Amino acid sequence: MKAAIRQALKHRSSAPALWLLCLMPFAWLAWGAAHDALGANPAEYLIRATGDWTLRGLCLTLAVTPLRVLAGLPELAKFRRALGLYTYFYGVLHLLCYSWLDMGFEWADIAHDIAKRPFILVGFSAFVVLTPLALTSFNRAIRWLGAKRWQWLHRSVYVAAVFAVLHFFWMRASKHNLVEVFVYASVLALLLLFRLRRILGSRI
């Protein structure tokens, strides 16, 4: 079974298949927007859906290394970069939907909203942290920064994930709906513990 999985991950079609899977939520949202199939408040639906997919993408990206190590599937490593870039893509869509559909591209109002509302501030902070990671996700950036500095920079993805979960928590707390927040927070806590254990283990 494991050999078959490894063979499938090595197949040249595995990368295009991942790209298609990552684009499916975007395709569904675009179709829904074009056909008025996003409910009574399409703007709110788009803002929340793109935010949800950003958070899911973060969890999937962070889960690649634990799955690779625990399952003995080194082939998974090649998918981490694509997952990270698609996560950033949905983060850009989330910010764009908020700026356009909720705020009408009124930049002064957007700046005031970010400064005034903590849950938007931490969400925007997550986006700010993710931006240099997306911009340096290519081999040339690794050579330019050096492997160690690049690695330390990209560990800040955990900071972005914490900000994202906190953003989600504050947004859901007002509606007293914290079940999904607990799920994401639990997943992130496990991933952080795995990373911390590996870092500490490498120093012993």
Whole-prediction pTM:
0.94
Which range marks the domain in which residue 119 is found? 2-203
Coil, strand or helix: which one is 119? helix
At residue 204, the pLDDT reads: 42
At residue 201, the pLDDT reads: 66
At residue 107, the pLDDT reads: 96
At residue 202, the pLDDT reads: 57
Coil, strand or helix: which one is 194? helix
Give the Cα separation of 160 and 128 in Å (integer).
8
Query: At a CB cut-off of 8 Å and minimum separation 6, what does 153 contact?
Result: 132, 133, 136, 145
At residue 136, the pLDDT reads: 96
Give the Cα separation of 106 and 140 in Å (integer).
36
At residue 177, the pLDDT reads: 77
Q: How many domains does the chain have?
A: 1
Residues in the chain with pLDDT values less than 70 = 200-204
